[in-house]
Amino acid sequence: MKVNDVVTYAVEGSIAVITVNSPPVNALSNAVRQGVASAVETAIGDPAVGAMVLICEGRTFFAGADITEFGKPPVEPTLRNLQLVVENATKPVIAAIHGTALGGGLELALVAHYRIAVPSAKCGLPEVNLGLLPGAGGTQRLPRIVGVAKALDLMTAGSPVSAKAAKEMGLIDELAAEGQLRADAIALAQRVLDEDRPLLKVRDRTEKLDAARGKPEIFDDFRKANARKFRGFNAPEAIIRCVEATLDLPFDEGMTFERQLFNELQADSQSAAQRHVFFSERQAAKVDSLPADIPILPIAKVGVIGAGTMGGGIAMNFANAGIPVTLVETNEDALFRGLRIIRGNYETTARKGKMKPEDVDTRMGLLTGSIAMEDLADCDLIIEAVFEQIDVKREVFAKLDRIAKPGAILATNTSYLDIDDIAAATSRPDSVVGLHFFSPANVMKLLEVVRTKDTKPEIIATAMKLAKTIGKIGVLVGNGYGFVGNRILAARNGQADQLILEGATPWAVDKVLYDFGFAMGHFQMRDLVGLDVGWNPKTTSSANVREILNEMGRHGQKTKGGFYDYDENRKQTPSPVAMQVIEDFAAKQGIVRRDVSDAEIQDRILFAMVNEGARILDEGIASRASDVDIVWITGYGWPKYRGGPMFWADLQGLPTVLDRLKALEAAHGAAFAPSPLIERLVAQGKGFKDA
């Protein structure tokens, strides 16, 4: 029987089976909640029914509340009211889980009286990733079923656990056979009936809470251990407070407390920012201009040219995904060094328990070293990661053109160079694309896929798909200096370099950025990367502070001195030597140093970045404002809870941004001349989100 468009009701023997089918992920939308509540009530009123099974069709059990309904007026039954219907049902309800039971989905399963899952299923409360807490009783029920410590871990990490782990911790009562969930859930329901098992309610359980009573240090230790990870985010602390409440308050009062904190988080800009990031990541994967049926080219074998830090990291991505790689260097020493470093990286990962020790050899087995580019002849994709100089790259591509098989994708990992220029060295520029990885390439999530004026659409589609295969977030960008990420970085560099000449200290600039939420300040980052990256000792001319520091042998952390001084443990202190260099250079330039406030530092750096982002958007180098946000969040450490530079600008209000830019232009010159896009959007009363 159809209950509504998304819920069906069937009775088998004495078991009612309530089936939900609301693609893509069975989110608990208005229609789903209404359908399930009405089906449960039907089952309660049906004398032929003794117990019921709640199950989903499609790829997953409920993936949570419907995020698209956030901020809209609530429609009955709310999730919490639906939960009351299920929890207080006079007949046992069995939740049957496959795919991912997430957020409100798991919270709904937690009001069922029994839970069964297939081994491949996963359970989690990922609300923290959306700047929220589990707001349908998750914070009150999870500690009652898995204990306080595990609940804190699960809810603040937000990552799901396997059904097996869930069973071990008591979250799941039984494992079903894979592919047999429906039958096994009905059988469990029948057993519950036959054995006259009680209607178990998680809310009534106290044994796990009792074990944590009188140990307030659990919470303080947890806060301390995670202080760095949680810095700046509001949701983790709210979750901890709710879990504390499970020990201090009766269940219903705990629920009220959870609701209050949930509402506060939901109304906060952090959650809006994190929801924006969730949808923007998914949006970035879509290329509007490509037909839906575009062919995806098979990538069975990959070649990487250059076994340095970048090339090695790139190769690891493919080996991790089970794709064989031929890694080419110019000589055996460099090749062996590269392969040794890769093995070392895998061994470290295995030692940390993040990889099975036997997988080290499996992955290394997928990597073949060579010093002959000819060995790349059978590769479907070849990525070049050699020295960042146009002549070197053009030479490599001319040679590749002679070696690569017809139809192979030829990719460059350049960060700044003109890829049309590189492609012109081949007879097949339409096969050339940019794949801009971020260092360390086996870790960083971002992949800028750079389309040239000639890149074939199927290559773009294949590259975007490949990004997902290797666990990256691919963002399609246009071919312009620095693409999206590094061009905005250049705008930030420009201001930071100028600010320290005008009177700010590098540590003051760094503190402003750190306090804004970046993991690291600008100059700390430069010291870490190495001041000598891209610096040429042969042509150096003391033209700026960085060159002078390099000329003094101060290349950053690796030489124990850059903008900061470093001790043996890499602990940093502001360097008086660097400060003297800055002051002397400013004097030479005729700059009279003055007090620069933190507010000025923040304004100049952030508004310069936003303005550059707008120009990039206007020029079509990025196709969506949200793509710019994703680049800076996944590649450059922009704090996730601030949603990216364009989201942040929208939050300030574009009229305010325009006013600030005009004021900054008057005070500091043309770098701040507002992008025409900002002027247009303000005139139309729009924000970047509408661009």
Catalytic center residues = 107, 127
- Are 535 and 550 in contact by the 8 Å Cβ rule? The answer is yes
Amino acid at site 427: S
**CA 273, 515, 484, 631 torsion-angle sign:** negative
Answer for which of 39, 40, 53, 66 binds ligand 3H9 (CB under 6 A) is 66
* Residue showing tokens 């201009």: 289
Q: How many residues bind ligand 3H9 (CB under 6 A)?
A: 26
Helices 645-652 and 598-618: crossing angle in degrees, nearest 10, is 110
Alpha-carbon distance of 147 to 381, in angstroms, equals: 49
Nearest distance, CB of residue 26 and ligand 3H9, angstroms? 9
Taking CB under 6 A as the rule, does residue 482 contact ligand 3H9?
no
What does the DSSP 8-state code read for residue 673?
P
Applying CB under 6 A, does 104 fall inside the site for ligand 3H9? yes
Considering the complex, state which of residue 132 and residue 272 has its C-beta at the smaller distance from ligand 3H9. Answer: 132
Task: Find the shortest distance in angstroms from Cβ 161 to ligand 3H9.
Answer: 13
Note whether 134 binds ligand 3H9 by CB under 6 A.
yes
CA distances from 673 to 123, 278, 355, 563, 611 (A): 50, 32, 50, 30, 8
What Å distances lie between residue 652 and 572, 632, 672, 681, 688, CA to CA? 34, 18, 17, 14, 11
Token pair belonging to 153:
């871990």
Q: How far is the CB of 409 from ligand 3H9 (least distance, A)?
A: 24
Distance CA 333, CA 14 (A): 73
Please report, in angstroms and rounded to a whole number, the separation of the first and last CA atoms in the chain.
46
Q: Does 25 bind ligand 3H9 (CB under 6 A)?
A: yes
Report the residue from 4, 68, 120, 573 that binds ligand 3H9 according to the rule CB under 6 A: 68
DSSP-derived pairing of the beta strands 122-124 and 161-162: antiparallel
Minimum distance from CB of 4 to ligand 3H9 (Å)? 18
DSSP 3-state of 294: coil
Query: Which residue's CB is nearer to ligand 3H9, number 429 or number 643?
Result: 643
- CB 94, min distance to ligand 3H9, A: 21
In DSSP terms, 367 is beta-bridged to 325
Min CB(664)–ligand 3H9 separation in Å: 37
- Note whether 337 and 416 are within 8 A (CB): no
3-state secondary structure of 485: helix
Does residue 64 touch ligand 3H9 according to CB under 6 A?
Answer: yes
* Residue 597 tokens, joined: 């406030």
Provide the minimum distance between the beta carbon of 372 and ligand 3H9 in the complex, in angstroms, as a whole number: 40
Q: How far is the CB of 550 from ligand 3H9 (least distance, A)?
A: 45
Structure tokens given for 382? 């070849």
Nearer to ligand 3H9, 135 or 369 (CB): 135
Range in contact with ligand 3H9 (rule: CB under 6 A) among 103-111, 232-240, 486-494, 511-519: 103-111
Which one of residues 63, 302, 476, 609 is an interface residue with ligand 3H9 (CB under 6 A)? 63
Decide: 417 and 393 in contact? Cβ < 8 Å. Answer: yes
Helix (H) or strand (E) holding 251: helix 251-267
C-alpha to C-alpha distance for 429 and 452, rounded to whole angstroms: 9
Name residues contacting ligand 3H9, limited to 111-130 (CB under 6 A). 126-127, 130
Which tokens in the block code for residue 100?
Answer: 């991912």
Between residues 59 and 340, which has the closer beta carbon with respect to ligand 3H9? 59
C-alpha span between 554 and 563 (Å, rounded): 8
Going residue by residue from 32 to 61, which x/- string records binding to ligand 3H9, judged by CB under 6 A? ----------------------------x-
- Cα separation, 576 vs 561, in Å, equals 11
Q: Is 157 in the site for ligand 3H9 (CB under 6 A)?
A: no
Q: Is 24 in the site for ligand 3H9 (CB under 6 A)?
A: yes
In the region spanning residues 584 to 603, those forming contacts with ligand 3H9, defined by CB under 6 A, are none
**Residue 411 CB: number of other CB atoms within 10 A?**
29
Distance, C-alpha 135 to centroid of its chain: 23
* Among 14, 19, 100, 349, interactor with ligand 3H9 by CB under 6 A: 100
Residue 435 near ligand 3H9 by CB under 6 A: no
Nearer to ligand 3H9, 277 or 360 (CB): 277
Establish if 627 lies at the interface with ligand 3H9 (CB under 6 A).
no
Task: Extract the runs of DSSP E, i.e. beta strands, from 441-497.
Answer: 446-451, 473-478
Contacting ligand 3H9 (CB under 6 A), which of 92, 103, 635, 639?
A: 103
Among 35, 50, 135, 485, binds ligand 3H9 (CB under 6 A): 135
User: What CA–CA distance (Å, rounded) separates 259 from 334?
Assistant: 59
282 touches ligand 3H9 (CB under 6 A): yes
67 touches ligand 3H9 by CB under 6 A: yes
Distance of closest approach, residue 99 Cβ to ligand 3H9, in angstroms = 7
Nearer to ligand 3H9, 282 or 340 (CB): 282
Smallest gap from residue 657 Cβ to ligand 3H9 (A): 28
Region label for 54, one of left (φ > 0), alpha (ψ between -120 and 50) or beta (otherwise)? beta
Q: Is 645 in the site for ligand 3H9 (CB under 6 A)?
A: no
Nearer to ligand 3H9, 107 or 532 (CB): 107
Report CA-CA distances (Å) from 177 to 117, 118, 163, 183, 500.
9, 6, 12, 9, 64
| Binder among 52, 65, 85, 464 for ligand 3H9 (CB under 6 A) | 65
Residue 102 lies near ligand 3H9 (rule: CB under 6 A): yes
**Residue 136 engages ligand 3H9 in binding (rule: CB under 6 A):** yes
Q: How far is the CB of 633 from ligand 3H9 (least distance, A)?
A: 17
Footprint of ligand 3H9 (CB under 6 A): 24-25, 27, 60, 63-68, 79, 100, 102-104, 107, 126-127, 130, 132, 134-136, 138, 279, 282
